[in-house]
Amino acid sequence: MCARILIMLLLTHIVWESFHSHLKSEGFYAQNIKQSNNASIIQTVDEYIHYYNNERIQRKLDNMSPIAYRKHVI
């Protein structure tokens, strides 16, 4: 495989692992969810994705949420 493709795959994997770590620690462990049915797990993941993309403060975005950062840049 081309080195460029391998680097892109590695970066994608790193981003996914970071998100997954945040999901577990902030979405499940913080809410003390140990055993749930599929519907409640799906709901928790959906709510966390919305929170992560719209409300969560991120250092890489100058300590703003993604929505606030988009408004600030535009």
- Mean per-residue pLDDT, 48-55: 90
> Does residue 33 come out as left (phi exceeding 0), alpha (psi in the -120 to 50 range) or beta?
beta
| Band (42; pLDDT cuts 50, 70, 90) | confident
Query: Does residue 39 carry a pLDDT above 70?
Result: yes
- Mean per-residue pLDDT, 3-24: 84
Overall pTM surpassing 0.85 (yes/no): no
**Interatomic CA distance for residues 11 and 72, integer angstroms:** 27
Query: Does residue 59 carry a pLDDT above 70?
Result: yes
Task: Please state the φ and ψ torsions of residue 73, each to the nearest 5 degrees.
Answer: -75, -40
For the chain, the straight-line distance linking the first and the last C-alpha, in angstroms and rounded, comes to 38
Domain layout of the chain by residue ranges: 3-73
pLDDT attached to residue 32: 67
